[in-house]
Amino acid sequence: MGWGIAREHRGKGHASEGAVGAMDSAFFVLGWPELIHCIAQENENSKGVAKKLGSTFLRDGAMPPPLMNLRAEVWGQPREPWKARA
């Protein structure tokens, strides 16, 4: 699950707000047992959003297609900690 925000709208909480709704849907409607975020290694703002959501760094990896040649950090969490936040 990822997010992208136009430069002029960054820093206003839109990514976190949208991600909460998407994560609720993934965990509670779709029943996913876990969720990951592939974040470009230099993208400190997205890492901040992931931390705010309760996700943690899991491993080094790659971005999803079509950017699979770019290195990424894989962040995420299982459903149970997300449920506990509610």
User: What pLDDT score was predicted for residue 58?
Assistant: 98
Say how many domains are in the chain.
Answer: 1
Domain that includes residue 63, residue range? 33-86
Task: Say whether 54 sits in a helix, a strand or coil.
Answer: coil
Residue 84 lies in a domain: yes
What CA–CA distance (Å, rounded) separates 68 from 61? Answer: 9
pLDDT digits (tens, 9 = 90+) for 41-85: 999 999 999 999 999 999 999 888 898 899 999 999 999 999 998
User: What pLDDT score was predicted for residue 5?
Assistant: 85
Residue 9 lies in a domain: no
Residue 61 lies in a domain: yes
Does residue 86 surpass a pLDDT of 90?
Answer: no
CB 58, CB 79: distance < 8 Å = no
Residue 2 lies in a domain: no
Token digits of residue 58: 């899991």
Residue 18 lies in a domain: no
How far does CA 62 lie from the centroid of its chain? 14
Model's pTM, two decimal places? 0.86
Residue 25 lies in a domain: no
Residue 44 lies in a domain: yes
